[in-house]
Amino acid sequence: MQLEATSIDIGTSRPLVLLNTIDAEELGAHPLDRVLLSWAGETMTGIVKRTDELVEPGTVGVTEPLHHVHGAVGVTLAGTPPSVRCVRKKLDDVELERAELERIVRDIHEHRLSDVELSAFVSAVYTNGLSLAETKHLTEAMGDIGQRLQWDRPVVADKHSIGGVAGNCVTPIMVAIVTAAGVTMPKTSSRAVTSPAGTADVMEVLSNVEFSIAEIERIVEETNGCLVWGGGVDLSPVDDEIIRAENPLSIDPDGLLMASVLSKKQSAGSSHVVIDIPYGEGAKVESLVAARGLADDFRRVGDYLEMDVSCAITHGTDPIGRGVGPVLEARDVLAVLEGDGPESLRLKSLRLAEMLLEHCDVDAAATEILESGRALEQFRSIVAAQGGDPDVESTDLEPGEESTTVRVDRAGVTSRVDNRTLSDLARRAGAPRDSGAGLVVHRTVGDEVEPGDRLYTIHAETESKLEEAVSFAEGLEPVRVRSKADALVERR
């Protein structure tokens, strides 16, 4: 069938093809079938959507991944990719071979799987899990696709947190300490997906974060490190597609989590990696036993990839810093580097930095580097190399002007600080899109409080978003206060 191609402005990463129902009936194409597009000696596969109105008969609508298709196009039915059979095997709890996982990864990258098929793969892994062998092969396959950073240095340090803890912005502090000690640490980080701020969002308050590979190499050559957005350099791009399928389901199965993290580290050229695994009520990993099992598997997959992976199992029941949201977390980071700031953020940053330096076999004291001001000086150098103001201070950073403070209405003890609810509340206030939005947590678990004491302050950039956050918080207890007796029972 010959049709005339027309571009359709629909935001999607999938190569969707819109066929008028009349043409689809003549072709025998059903929704989610695949068709082969042929034009000017080129071919491309698209996934069918049928419509009565968006495109006229005789026309084929192509979405953004196919916008280069133009003019007269031959449209024929195409078969189902072989990787779909592999997905069905995983749904049946059959262990997949290396070649089958490579086929799935390749087809995800080339957009041959529909959203339904990709979701089926993610759901199959969530339900049936991945064996250690499958995780190793999947990680390797994901790391082999996309760009790679390469360094002519024997030791390249890196760090990752599996997330789930509010205000956990230790990475900029760690990078400053580790690079000041002479270790190369080109840190590529993510933007927030479901949290109020990713490391890239926090750094964007202070400097640019989007750079090409050549620009990253220049920054690292100048400063020994960087803090940039990984999405700008196409490292392990299949990981981004898998995360896109996981988010609506709010799932992150261990096998895919490990493949996601370590394929990114492999692509970034990392040789020594510390993985932060917070556990506890409200964190991604709720028990110490589960955290230890995940740490063991991380190390095994790291050994397979010839990467030195060490894991820090940390408490994840409280926020780490006081601020939650890009500006507020950036303020905490600078305050710690300046010699002040939240003690919990300072201590965790030092612990992880010491751990990473030890595994890199570097004889340097993280505490001395921080307290001497060397870390602050190094951080300012990185900010300057990334186009930011090296003289910025924590007191220069102001959150959104619209704010309200929630106070204690009875005497007692703070018995719980709910990370998940705090993160949801900060997002309702506008974070991370509004960099000044978020909240400041004034209490930690175990604090004694009196009526009128502050629990948390919500910041927003607009009055409407502040009202939305306040409405969301009604009936919730992001910071729970109980009588001393009740709090003791809870802790037991």
Active site residues: 252
d(CA 127, CA 254): 11
- The single residue listed with the structure tokens 């003289």 is 391
- The single residue listed with the structure tokens 């030092």 is 350
- Looking from the CA of 19 toward its CB, the CA atoms found within 13 Å total 30
Strands 438-441 and 479-482: unpaired
**230 and 107 Cβ atoms separated by less than 8 Å:** no
Report the alpha-carbon angle 164-177-148, nearest 5: 70
Residue type, 125: V
Contacts of 202 (CB under 8 A, 6+ apart): 169, 172, 326, 329, 330, 333
d(CA 303, CA 362): 21
Is residue 240 within a helix (H) or strand (E), and if so which, with residue range?
A: helix 237-246
What are the CA-CA distances from residue 479 to residues 178, 317, 429 (Å)?
A: 34, 12, 17
**308 and 273 Cβ atoms separated by less than 8 Å:** yes
**132 and 258 Cβ atoms separated by less than 8 Å:** no
**Through-space distance between the first and last CA atoms of the chain, rounded to whole angstroms:** 71
What are the CA-CA distances from residue 206 to residues 40, 222, 379, 474 (Å)?
A: 47, 18, 11, 33
Contacts of 142 (CB under 8 A, 6+ apart): 105, 236, 238, 239, 259, 260, 263
Which of 466, 410, 417 is CA-nearest to residue 437?
466
Evaluate the omega torsion of the peptide bond into residue 432 and state whether it is cis, within 30 degrees of 0. Answer: yes
* Rg from Cα positions in the chain: 25
d(CA 87, CA 5): 32
* E runs forming strands in 112-173: 157-161
Instruction: Return the bridge partners of 47, or none.
Output: 16, 34
Which of 104, 93, 96 is CA-nearest to residue 126?
93
| SS3 state at 171 | helix
d(CA 95, CA 76): 34
d(CA 49, CA 34): 10
- Quick one: DSSP state of residue 249? G
